[in-house]
Amino acid sequence: MSKEAAEQVSHWVHDAESLVTVQRIVQTFDLSCYAIVRVSGFNESPSSEASTIELKSSNDDINDVSRAEVAQVIVGSLLDPNALNKSFYVSKRVKGSSKNIDETMSAKFLSLATDTAKR
């Protein structure tokens, strides 16, 4: 992907109107298998450790993540049935957090509530 295309994707991710459009598409076409991955911002500090990634249902206290971490979550959501029909934010775990750092990506997906239909 070119740098220009990556910047366009980054702007789209930040565009709340586009996010609402994606949610409407999911609802309108009655898609039964989806995962909406939200990102508030990117940093350049990649980490391949799943323990540094948090998945949150709200945008409270969201920290920037690397593109590599977002890719890890997207691939995980495609392969893990625990991610089906969920919308969530990807965040970076703050050092000193009391949450279980050994939690697997699958357990993180499982801990999220399934979206409720808004028809």
Convert the pLDDT of each residue in 13-46 to its tens digit: 555 556 667 667 766 776 778 888 998 888 877 6
Which residue ranges form the domains of the chain, and what is each CATH number? 3-111 (3.40.50.720)
Q: Check whether 48 has a pLDDT greater than 60.
A: no
Mean pLDDT (the chain) is: 77
Q: Which pLDDT band holds residue 11 (cuts at 50, 70, 90)?
A: low
How far apart, in whole angstroms, are the C-alpha atoms of residue 87 and residue 109?
Answer: 10
